[in-house]
Structure 1
Amino acid sequence: MTVVAHDLTWGAGRRAIVAGVSLAVARGETLGLIGPNGSGKSSLLRLLAGLRKPWSGRVEIEGRDVAAVARRALARQVAFVQQHAATETSVTVRDVVRLGRTPHRSALSGWSAADEAAVAAALARVDMTERAAQVWQTLSGGERQRVHVARALAQAPRILFLDEPTNHLDIHHQIEILRMVRELALTSVVALHDLNLAAMFCDRIVVLQAGSVIAAGPPEAVLTTDLLRAVFRVEAEVVPSPRHGRPRILFEPG
């Protein structure tokens, strides 16, 4: 499914956090959102997913205004993996992932074999099958993040929004989660801090600064020495990876 944003503006109080953002995500594409802290990445993701109402502008999914789509119908198409989520309830990993099936079930429907298969497949995709019976509160931050992704996968969405999905993960699971996202053949929008991971796994990148789009395009066109200096205030050399040809950022010590 396609996602298109038209001149989105949103903020808190009188301050605009997202300012006039327009972008388009093609069907099956993985789009990366990068930018310094406070640049509006998380807020833009929530606007794109229909979780916030913009001050102005609109978001279209497959040509239809998100504001006109019923919440339950939208939840069958769109999944959102947030940066931080917590619960004080004593639940197991399997219980958390089962929540992803909620949009597909009516109040009177029982738990089906299809529901169980979706949960099992989602747990396997994030390497958490052996932890399915473990209590949520006993998980590490990285394990919780993987469970959040599994819950989104159990939802069987056609569009996946992820806000810093690699937070708290070791490097192995950072790479595995992003590789999985690319291989899912979904339309995906992911906010990332790690510029090398964005370069490695995103088809295109949008750079945000102070709520506005500064640059957009394929990683090799966007991630330049000049942009890194201007937006992120770092000195770095950008070279093609000898393995896959994508940009590789070599940061220089200060």
Structure 2
Amino acid sequence: MRIAARNLVWGVRRRTIVSDVSLDVQEGETLGLIGPNGSGKSSLLRLLAGLRRPLSGRVEIGGQDIASVPRRTLARQVAFVQQSAATDTNVSVRDVVRLGRTPHRSALSGWSAEDETAVAAALDRVDMAGHRAQAWQTLSGGERQRVHIARALAQAPRVMFLDEPTNHLDIHHQIEILRMVRDLDLTSVVALHDLNLAAMFCDRIVVLRNGAVAASGTPEAVLTEALLRDIFRVEAEVGPSSRPGQPHIRFKAG
């Protein structure tokens, strides 16, 4: 599904956090959101996913203004993976993933074969089927992120939004998670803080500064030495990597 945002504005009290943002995400594309801390990445993601209503502007998913789409209908099309989630409840991996079926079930409906198939397929897709009976509290950080994504996949969405899904993970799990997201047959928007990972796994990148779009384009076009100096206030060398069109950033110590 294609995503189109037009002139989005959102804030709290008198502070504007998202300022006149417009962007387009093509069907099947992975778009990366990058920017300094406080640049509005998480707030923009929540606006795009329909979790917050803009003060002005609009978001269309699949050509429909999401403000006019019933919440349950939207939840069948759109999944949101937050940075992290903790629970003290003694639940299994399967129980967590089952929550993804909520938009497809009424209050009185029982658990169906279709629900079970969706959960099993989601666990298979993130390579966690062998952990289905394992307690949530015993999982590693990378495994928990895989389960978060499985829960989102159990919704059977067409679009997925991810808010820094690799936060606090070691580099092996960061690469593993982002490779998995890129290979999903979905339209994805992912907020990231690691610029080299954004270059590796995103088709296009939008750079935010003070809630506004500072740059947009392919990683090769966007991630320049001048932009890194201007937006992130770092000195770096940007050169080619082993993959065409994928720049590699080498930060200077000073």
TM-score interval, smaller chain: over 0.9
Matched, 1:58 2:58: yes
Are the aligned partners of 2:219 and 2:245 in contact in 1 as well (CA < 8 Å)? Answer: no
User: What TM-score, normalized by structure 1, do the two folds share?
Assistant: 0.95
> How far apart are 1:181 and its partner, in Å?
1.6
Are the aligned partners of 1:196 and 1:248 in contact in 2 as well (CA < 8 Å)? Answer: yes
> How far apart are 1:245 and its partner, in Å?
4.1
Return 123-132 or 37-46, whichever deviates more. Answer: 123-132
Are the aligned partners of 1:142 and 1:168 in contact in 2 as well (CA < 8 Å)? Answer: no
Provide the aligned length of Structure 1 versus Structure 2. 254
Q: Which residue of 2 aligns with 1:72?
A: 72
Cα deviation code 1:190-242 (max 9, x no counterpart): 00011111101111000001101000001100000000011111111111112
Q: Which amino acid aligns with 2:59?
A: V
Are the aligned partners of 2:162 and 2:189 in contact in 1 as well (CA < 8 Å)? Answer: yes
- 1:33 and 1:166 map into 2 onto residues whose CA distance is 13
Are the aligned partners of 1:101 and 1:155 in contact in 2 as well (CA < 8 Å)? Answer: yes
Q: Which residue of 2 aligns with 1:94?
A: 94
Return 23-32 or 178-187, whichever deviates more. Answer: 178-187
- 2:115 and 2:56 map into 1 onto residues whose CA distance is 38
Q: Which residue of 2 aligns with 1:8?
A: 8
Q: Which residue of 2 aligns with 1:242?
A: 242
Matched, 1:123 2:123: yes
Are the aligned partners of 1:158 and 1:186 in contact in 2 as well (CA < 8 Å)? Answer: yes
1:132-147 paired onto structure 2 within 5 Å: 132-147=132-147
Are the aligned partners of 2:84 and 2:165 in contact in 1 as well (CA < 8 Å)? Answer: no
Return 120-129 or 74-83, whichever deviates more. Answer: 120-129
Secondary structure at 2:19's aligned position in 1?
strand
> How far apart are 1:21 and its partner, in Å?
0.5
> How far apart are 1:102 and its partner, in Å?
1.1
Seen in structure 2, the aligned counterparts of structure 1 residues 3 and 245 have a Cα distance that, compared at 3 Å, is closer
User: What TM-score, normalized by structure 2, do the two folds share?
Assistant: 0.95
Are the aligned partners of 1:145 and 1:168 in contact in 2 as well (CA < 8 Å)? Answer: no
Gaps of 5+ in 1: none
Are the aligned partners of 1:236 and 1:250 in contact in 2 as well (CA < 8 Å)? Answer: yes
- 1:124 and 1:177 map into 2 onto residues whose CA distance is 14
Secondary structure at 2:123's aligned position in 1?
helix
Sequence identity percentage = 78
Q: Which residue of 2 aligns with 1:35?
A: 35
Are the aligned partners of 1:30 and 1:189 in contact in 2 as well (CA < 8 Å)? Answer: yes
Q: Which residue of 2 aligns with 1:82?
A: 82
Q: Which amino acid aligns with 2:229?
A: R
- 1:92 and 1:130 map into 2 onto residues whose CA distance is 12
CA RMSD for the aligned pairs? 1.4
Secondary structure at 1:248's aligned position in 2?
strand
> How far apart are 1:121 and its partner, in Å?
2.1
Are the aligned partners of 2:220 and 2:245 in contact in 1 as well (CA < 8 Å)? Answer: no
Return 174-183 or 46-55, whichever deviates more. Answer: 174-183
Secondary structure at 1:162's aligned position in 2?
strand
Q: Which amino acid aligns with 1:146?
A: R
Q: Which residue of 1 aligns with 2:208?
A: 208
- 1:49 and 1:253 map into 2 onto residues whose CA distance is 38
Q: Which amino acid aligns with 2:90?
A: S
Seen in structure 2, the aligned counterparts of structure 1 residues 245 and 87 have a Cα distance that, compared at 3 Å, is same
- 2:73 and 2:245 map into 1 onto residues whose CA distance is 40
- 1:173 and 1:110 map into 2 onto residues whose CA distance is 36
Secondary structure at 2:38's aligned position in 1?
coil
Return 3-12 or 82-91, whichever deviates more. Answer: 82-91
Return 85-94 or 208-217, whichever deviates more. Answer: 85-94
Secondary structure at 2:8's aligned position in 1?
strand
1:152-171 paired onto structure 2 within 5 Å: 152-171=152-171
Are the aligned partners of 1:2 and 1:27 in contact in 2 as well (CA < 8 Å)? Answer: yes
- 1:8 and 1:71 map into 2 onto residues whose CA distance is 20
Cα deviation code 1:47-93 (max 9, x no counterpart): 00000011111111122111100000000000000113222322111
Secondary structure at 1:73's aligned position in 2?
helix
Q: Which residue of 1 aligns with 2:172?
A: 172
